[in-house]
Amino acid sequence: MAPKSLCQLGVLLFFRLVLPVSSHFYFIVPPPPGQNNTLDLNPWYDIGQDLNLTWNGTPTDYISIAIHQRRPARDEAEFILKNVSGLTHFPWTITTKKNLTESHIFYLDIYPGENPRPTASSRWFNLSDPSTSSAIPSPTTFTRISSSSSGLSEPTQTAIPTKPDSSSPGSNSLDTGAKVALGLGIPLAVTVGALAGILIVRRFRRKKVMENSVTGYRVPVDKSGCQMVGPAELDDTARKLEPVEMPTDNH
């Protein structure tokens, strides 16, 4: 009877001592899992940001806190705190060795003492690295199955989160003043070009007429239809006249 009594006593002590310690732990920052634990409600944090991790628990208890990455493959715990006591908050400069291109969704676990099973988990949260411009991959749908003794688990989440965009409108867009100036400038340029073209054509025609008036001199014609001899021709004719001997009378 003694062994059986000792076994029952051990089970009783476990339920009265161990389970109460595990059940009173829960996260405050990041927030704990909620009923509507959808990805679009997840908080966003940046790598390098200062975050004051806060949780509820007995300060005298030894705990460890680890960060996990949400991905289909099994993820190894990356510890932020290990076997510390007297704390219910910790100023954490967010950093991780995990690859954000595989997944940007993370969560935290609290491990009591040396227990390998977590006793409390945080809500999913998103991490982004401002120093990189790599595109954030779309999350793959899967369910996280928690191994904690308190039965904590995360529901299947399929919504694709979008980080709030606080950037200003793109610099490529034209403002109203630029559009008005462009609308007035184009017709004005076309009009000026057309006027310049007309002036050039007129000047060219006037020059052509003047050239034709000089080179195309017409010889005057008399009433009978014969061309009148010009001064130059008269001079040439005078030069060609030779004296003619007059006949003499021989008496």
- CATH number of the structural domain spanning residue 58: 2.60.40
Asked if residue 54 belongs to a domain, the reply is yes
pLDDT of 147 reads: 40
> Which DSSP letter does residue 153 get?
-
Asked if residue 39 belongs to a domain, the reply is yes
Residue whose pair of structure tokens reads 């390098």 in the numeric block: 48
pLDDT of 91 reads: 96
CB 136: neighbour CB atoms within 10 A? 18
Asked if residue 110 belongs to a domain, the reply is yes
Asked if residue 225 belongs to a domain, the reply is no
Asked if residue 187 belongs to a domain, the reply is no
Asked if residue 170 belongs to a domain, the reply is no
Tokens of 251: 């008496």
Asked if residue 147 belongs to a domain, the reply is no
**Whole-number Cα distances in Å, 212 to 66, 199, 200, 234:** 100, 20, 19, 26
Question: What residue numbers bound the domain in which 43 lies?
Answer: 26-132
Could you list the pLDDT tens digit for every one of the 251 residues in the chain? Answer: 444 555 555 544 444 444 444 458 899 999 998 766 677 789 999 999 999 999 998 887 899 999 999 987 788 899 999 999 999 999 999 999 999 999 999 999 999 888 889 999 999 999 999 988 554 454 444 444 444 434 444 444 444 455 555 554 544 555 677 777 777 878 888 888 888 888 888 887 877 766 665 555 455 555 555 555 555 454 554 455 555 566 665 55
Task: Please name the residues in contact with 102: beta carbons below 8 A apart, sequence gap of 6 or more.
Answer: 69, 71, 137
Task: Please name the residues in contact with 152: beta carbons below 8 A apart, sequence gap of 6 or more.
Answer: 33, 118, 119, 120, 121, 146
**Whole-number Cα distances in Å, 163 to 61, 98, 167, 218:** 37, 20, 11, 90
Domain count, the chain: 1
b/e per residue 221-243 (b: at least 16 CB within 10 A) = eeeeeeeeeeeeeeeeeeeeeee
Distance CA 67, CA 44 (A): 15
Asked if residue 141 belongs to a domain, the reply is no
